[in-house]
Structures are given as C-alpha cells and as structure tokens.
Structure 1
Amino acid sequence: MNQRPLVEEYAGDFGEYIRLVPEGNIIDILLAQEKQMTELLASLSESQGAYRYAEGKWTLKEVVGHITDGERIMTYRLLRFARGDQTSLPGYDQEVFMPPFGSWTTAQLAEDYRAVRQSTITLLRGLPAEAWSRKGTANNVSITARALAYVIAGHELHHMGVIRNRYLS
C-alpha cells in the first residue's frame, strides 16, 4: 500500500502523526520500525528502561508500553472500519493503560511490541483494496482504515523522536 491518506480521510490530531510518516509502502515502514524498536530495546539496560527525564514524565519502558497499547487500539479501530463496521468507537485514557509497564523487563516489552506489530502487519497484508478507504468514527473523529495505518506509524515516529531527544541523549 503506497497511497498516503488524503486530507479528507482524517481530522483532528490524527494529522499530526500522519504528516510524520515518510513516503513509501506503509507495511515496509512498519517493518522497518519493528526492526529499529527491537534493536533499541535489546540495547537497553533495565536502569535505562526505568529512566524518567523529569518528575511526572513516563519512564522509557512506559513510553514503549504506550506505543504498543496505542497500536493495539488503533489496529482494533482499523479492523472494525476496514470490515465496514460503522459503530462509533470511544476514545481512551492513555493513563489508564500505563500501570504495568514500569515492572516489565525490556525483554517483555520487546516480545509484546513484536507480537502486536506482527499482528498489525498480518492484518494490513490481508486487507482487500477497497477496505483501505472505508471510514468509521473514533473519538468523535471520522477516519479511514488507511489513515489509521499511518497514525500507527506516525505515533511511533513521534515517540521515537522523544526517546532519542529526552531519554538517550
């Protein structure tokens, strides 16, 4: 899938993430991200994973857990919309999803991340052409399945920038 989502395919804050995604096949981009994240997690010590750059900010482990849970939620939305489900889906409170990640090892985070990413890629590879442009509503915003695939990649790109600038510098 090489076609970027058109502006009409999304609204709200989703555009911030979509604009971060480079040109290219979205599945190839997601695969490259998987390799990069897996290498990053393999290189971290547990103390680096527990690092928090300021009071009240997430640890690096929590950021990775947030990326993974965010992907789970966006992929669920993508699946529903790609299949033609028009049920309006709610937003979610990212803080509610945070509690377990501080106690996880970096190896557990890597395993969880890889499983979720592989599931996303398998879903995307199996979508028929017409499914990519199907729309639904999530958090009161209309968005297509294609745009959600880009949101997944862009959300990770956003947080990888934060990781590079705040956690690893």
Structure 2
Amino acid sequence: MLQRPLDSEYPEYYKPYVNLVPDGNLISILKENLVKSIELFESLSEEDGHFRYADHKWCIQEVLGHMADTERIMSYRLLRVGRGDQTPLAGFNENDYVQGSQVNKLPIKSILEDFISARKATLTLIQNMPDQAWTNIGFANNTEVTARALGYIIAGHALHHYKIITDRYLPLLK
C-alpha cells in the first residue's frame, strides 16, 4: 500500500489537500471520490450548474472543469516524476485555465464525463506505477515534490472541491 507522504515531500501550500486524504488505500479513496462525484454532479440540473454562491466565484460547472483540468495536470506531473524525469515542470494559473476553457458553456454532463475520463486515467497510472517510483523526486512550479505526494495531492484536491460544493453551493440551491 502506498504510504502517506512526509511533509518534506511537497510544498507547504499542498498540506491542506494532503491532510484531507483519509488513511487507507489511495486507489480505493480515489474510486470512492469518483462515485460520490458522479452521484453529486448527476443530481444537478443545467441551471444548478450555472450557480455561483457569491459574486466573482466560479459556477459549479467551472469548479468541475477546474477539477478535471487539475487532475490532468497533476497526473501528468505524477507520470513525469514517477518515470524519473528531472525536467522542471511549469506551474499553471487556475483562473486562466477556467476562463480559457469556457466550460460554463458546456453541458454539465459533458464536463462530468471529462472529469470521469481524467480520473480513470489517474487510476490506471497509479495502479501501474512501480513501487520504487513513488519516492522519486521531481520539480514542479519551482518546488520539489515526490510522486507519492502527487498521488495524495490529486486525491486531496478533488476532496477539497467536493467539500466546497457540498458546503457552500448546495445549501444555497435548496
């Protein structure tokens, strides 16, 4: 079983994500989050998808699109670091990605299918990662990070946004 990363294996700003990941099998946690995410987003109408809980906040569709984009970016980082690639990887501006995606113009079902595809690719990557690769160290956004930490960051990021939607958006939709 993949061990939880040490605090020294990732930048401090990822600590809230890593801390959200419960103890247990990371693959099972990712699969469970996928099932819950599918249930959540399938329960929403197109109108719900356009809801923002406050001015200048992303709508639900944009949050889901951001989850898919970030899953892909972090999985790509995991692939590179896991394979021993020492090439520094650039950071990304999440707001630019959301704006550039124009995801708020897509049906929520389409955005959800994109997230599902990204998560399934993440799962196969993690399931097939050689054991010795998890401690590989790479460089992303000008900081060191291990493959193991990236796996936990991926899970924690999705859990973070799932919690935001259930805590901040859904109560105001009822």
What whole-Å deviation, never above 9, does each CA across 1:139-168 have from its counterpart, x for those lacking one? 111111110010011111111111011110
Separation in 1 of the partners of 2:2 and 2:78?
A: 17
CA apart distance, 1:39: 0.7
Separation in 2 of the partners of 1:2 and 1:9?
A: 14
Report the equivalent of 1:115.
Answer: 117
Report the equivalent of 2:25.
Answer: 25
Report the equivalent of 2:16.
Answer: 16
CA apart distance, 1:2: 3.5
Report the equivalent of 1:49.
Answer: 49
Separation in 1 of the partners of 2:93 and 2:152?
A: 21
Separation in 2 of the partners of 1:11 and 1:114?
A: 27
Report the equivalent of 1:36.
Answer: 36
Separation in 1 of the partners of 2:77 and 2:107?
A: 28
Provide the aligned C-alpha RMSD in A.
0.9
The equivalences for 1:21-100 within 5 A come to 21-99=21-99, 100=102
Separation in 1 of the partners of 2:72 and 2:116?
A: 12
Structure 2 residue ranges without an equivalent (≥5): none
Q: Percent identity?
A: 47
Which residue of 116, 135, 138 corresponds with 2:137? 135
Separation in 2 of the partners of 1:101 and 1:11?
A: 29
Question: CA contact under 8 A between 1:12 and 1:141: conserved in structure 2?
Answer: no
Report the equivalent of 1:161.
Answer: 163
What whole-Å deviation, never above 9, does each CA across 1:117-149 have from its counterpart, x for those lacking one? 000000111111001110101111111111001
Question: CA contact under 8 A between 2:71 and 2:154: conserved in structure 1?
Answer: yes
Question: CA contact under 8 A between 2:77 and 2:89: conserved in structure 1?
Answer: yes
Structure 1 residue ranges without an equivalent (≥5): none
TM-score by length of 2: 0.94
CA gap of 1:82–1:2, structure 2 versus 1, over 3 A, is: closer
Q: Which moved more, 1:96-105 or 1:62-71?
A: 96-105
Q: Which amino acid aligns with 1:61?
A: Q
Aligned to 1:64, the other structure's residue is in SS state helix
Question: CA contact under 8 A between 1:17 and 1:151: conserved in structure 2?
Answer: yes
Separation in 1 of the partners of 2:80 and 2:74?
A: 10
Separation in 1 of the partners of 2:92 and 2:133?
A: 24
Question: CA contact under 8 A between 2:2 and 2:148: conserved in structure 1?
Answer: no
CA apart distance, 1:12: 2.4
